[in-house]
A and B are shown apart, each in its own frame.
Chain A
Amino acid sequence: MKEGLLKLGLRLLGILLYVGPLLAALSVQGGDFMKAAFDPSQVEKIQQKMENLFQFSENTMVKENSWLGENGGCVTVRFTSTSPFPMRIENFSGWASCPQHRVRLAWFELPQPVEINPGETKRFTLTFTPTLGASLHVFLQHLGVWPETELENARMKIRMLGAEIELALGEYEG
């Protein structure tokens, strides 16, 4: 008799421990099962963050000072991060071309990785290595005066949130 009552009590306790939390969760959310299961407003925040991850605008990356000669050169780039997460530019490389004749004058690359915090604006320098025919082209077509170059076929490798992201930036005029 006593054991039977205890068994029944324990069985009821077991059921109560499953049904009770379910009813409590529903009552906390005013009886709305969907809201109790998952609040959709949380997804909106994540969507917002995802949209900001790669929101490149014309102000994201601006070419500032550029100089190229027969022994090499460099270009300063101002980069403003729109990402809500810290990122590291591991590599940024491509070609610097003569905009008038579409001749590749130099190969450019980032000498060392750059760390950028959320919303931060950072300047970094890309180094130029002239191509073999660059000096000849400048001598013949530009009377020895090195023209202002245009960056093209640029590829940027970023590490963010444990992911490796490669962006093909194509023609980039800054």
Chain B
Amino acid sequence: MSWRSASMKVNPVGAVAGALILLLPFLGPWWHASLGEAAVVELSPFGYRVCVLGELLHSTLASYLLLGAKVSVILGGIFLLLGSLFPGRWWSRPLVRFGVMKVFWMVISLVVFLVVASFVANFLLRSIRPEDVTLDLSLPFLTGSSELRLSGGNMSASMPVDLHFTGVFWMAVVVAGFGLAARITAGRFQGALPAKPAKPNK
């Protein structure tokens, strides 16, 4: 078997996407937010770290759901890799479809979640503020820096606020792109499958 004929039996875009999807859950947070050194929030679809005044906050529900997402993506990556390495097999198409769009939807979900969370946080900061305290903070959406200024009584404080996407997020965007491309190109490689026999016309 020549190299060319062997390579034509593999969907390279899908194989790359599958390998990258397998890496993604182990690379760390996608988004980072900090309020001075007082509070740090790190998020990804596979894990979270919320630390306020040195106390780590924990949610059993969030931990289990994110673990489920992690397992789901790892399985998706394995299935995409298998489906792309053996595009001619009957099980290739369903396996590819299972994993190919997961990262894409995770990227979209995280961005939507952060936009909604920013709206809610800005609203809460305006409405919950005690009367004798002046609070000046407008949280940036998704990414950016600002400063929290707080004054009341005989005290005033200022604290830097920083929100940013990490390099892993941008890698996830690239992986999502590969996933989309793999979905588009998958049909071309699966075209090698023998066509289903047409139903006889009565």
- From B2-10, B11-19, B66-74, B163-171, give the one contacting chain A: B66-74
| Residues B61 and A37 in contact, CB atoms below 8 Å apart | yes
Minimum Cβ distance to chain A for residue B148 (Å): 8
- Given A18-B65, A84-B54, residue A165 in contact with residue B157 (CB < 8 A): yes
Minimum Cβ distance to chain B for residue A132 (Å): 29
Tally of A-B residue pairs with Cβ under 8 A?
108
B63 at the interface (CB under 8 A from A): yes
B146 at the interface (CB under 8 A from A): no
The residue among B34, B65, B94, B156 with the most chain A CB atoms within 10 A of its own CB is: B94
State A161–B160 Cα separation when bound (angstroms): 10
Residues of A within 8 Å of B53, CB to CB, are 46, 49-50, 84-85, 161
| Residues A161 and B38 in contact, CB atoms below 8 Å apart | yes
Contact of A165 among B69, B75, B155 (CB under 8 A): B155
Residues of B within 8 Å of A35, CB to CB, are 60
A169 at the interface (CB under 8 A from B): yes
B136 at the interface (CB under 8 A from A): no
A136 at the interface (CB under 8 A from B): no
| Residues B58 and A39 in contact, CB atoms below 8 Å apart | yes
Residues of B within 8 Å of A26, CB to CB, are 61
State A38–B63 Cα separation when bound (angstroms): 11
State A42–B61 Cα separation when bound (angstroms): 15
| Beta-carbon contacts under 8 Å, A19-33 to B | 20-22, 24-26, 28-29, 33
The residue among B34, B35, B60 with the most chain A CB atoms within 10 A of its own CB is: B60
Contact of B155 among A17, A46, A85, A168 (CB under 8 A): A168
| Beta-carbon contacts under 8 Å, B93-133 to A | 93-95, 97-98
Contact of A21 among B38, B67, B90, B94 (CB under 8 A): B67
| Residues A25 and B155 in contact, CB atoms below 8 Å apart | no
Minimum Cβ distance to chain A for residue B37 (Å): 4
Contact of A45 among B55, B93, B157 (CB under 8 A): B55
| Residues A14 and B155 in contact, CB atoms below 8 Å apart | no
Contact of B36 among A13, A22, A37, A162 (CB under 8 A): A162
- Given A10-B95, A22-B64, residue A161 in contact with residue B155 (CB < 8 A): no
Minimum Cβ distance to chain A for residue B77 (Å): 13
Contact of B98 among A14, A42, A45 (CB under 8 A): A14
| Residues B154 and A169 in contact, CB atoms below 8 Å apart | yes
What 8 A-B pairs come out closest when comparing CB atoms? A162-B36, A21-B68, A21-B64, A162-B37, A25-B64, A163-B159, A168-B154, A161-B38
Name 18 A/B residue pairs within 8 A (Cβ), A-sorted. Answer: A2-B90, A3-B94, A6-B95, A18-B65, A21-B67, A25-B60, A26-B61, A35-B60, A36-B59, A38-B59, A39-B58, A39-B59, A49-B55, A84-B53, A162-B38, A162-B160, A166-B155, A169-B154
